[in-house]
Amino acid sequence: MNLANSITIELEGRKIKVPEGLTVIESLWDTGHDVKRGVGCLSGLCGACTVVYLEKDSKKVRFGLGCQKVIEDGLIVIMLPYFPSRVAHYLLTSMDSPLQHLAEIYSELYTCNDCKACNVCPEWIDVARVMKAAKDEDYETATNHITDCIMCGLCASRCPKGIAPQHVALFIQRALVVERLFPPNLHQRLSEMESLKFEQELARVAAMGTDELESYCHTLGEA
């Protein structure tokens, strides 16, 4: 390790010197920690690498992603292990109106008192707003504001009522697809595919040579 531009941080309870400019996960690797669990995409997308940190001179503990949080001098940081949260089991296809079952599937949602402790999302989702909309049966608002969820579970780790907002929201998103948002033309196309309507055409395209395929694609583009 080149100590020329090193800074001191407290990582997993130990004061260490690390080169500046690294992320939390890179710092762990740089200092010989064999971190495999809690590391996935390294791009802020998989939600595996949740961390809790306190910046120098700050009074507020913050939450984030270890692959995105860049260290700075005086930072105190730990990685959060997997946080347990309840995942309900349900079969959407057995329900006529899945959203009507929300209250039985995730009954804890209705104990939410809007304390906003869940607003620690590394994707800047206003989780409390999503939960309030869900409770108020404004399911479109709930889903519109949760689309960036990466299922990291930080919100669930903060909820004093034991609600797992990420799972509640996922149920609502799935239920909405079943109930409302499935466009009729998509329905039609899927049933056409199920009835193998395009099999012959597919076989014809699969048998085409490069030139024939190219001119076929041109024809489609002009259509």
Contact set with ligand FES (CB under 6 A): 39-42, 44-49, 65, 67
* CB-nearer residue toward ligand FES: 47 or 165: 47
Give the amino acid at 101: H
6 three-state secondary structure: strand
Q: How far is the CB of 45 from ligand FES (least distance, A)?
A: 6
What's the rounded Cα separation, in Å, for the pair 101 and 139? 13
* CB-nearer residue toward ligand FES: 102 or 154: 154
Q: How far is the CB of 213 from ligand FES (least distance, A)?
A: 38
Burial class (CB in 10 A: 0-12, 13-18, 19+), 89: exposed
Q: How far is the CB of 99 from ligand FES (least distance, A)?
A: 30
* CB-nearer residue toward ligand FES: 18 or 51: 51
Q: How far is the CB of 56 from ligand FES (least distance, A)?
A: 23
Q: How far is the CB of 156 from ligand FES (least distance, A)?
A: 16
* CB-nearer residue toward ligand FES: 127 or 152: 152
What's the rounded Cα separation, in Å, for the pair 53 and 55? 6
* CB-nearer residue toward ligand FES: 67 or 175: 67
Q: How far is the CB of 50 from ligand FES (least distance, A)?
A: 8
As beta bridge partners, residue 50 has 65
* CB-nearer residue toward ligand FES: 39 or 54: 39
CB 123 within 8 A of CB 169: no
Determine which helix (DSSP H) or strand (DSSP E) holds 105, and give its type and residue range.
helix 102-105
CB 130 within 8 A of CB 169: yes
Q: In what side-by-side order are the strands of the sheet with 6-11?
A: 14-19, 6-11, 76-79, 50-54, 62-65
| Locus of tokens 């395929």 | 213
Q: Which residues contact 198 (CB under 8 A, 6 or more apart)?
A: 192
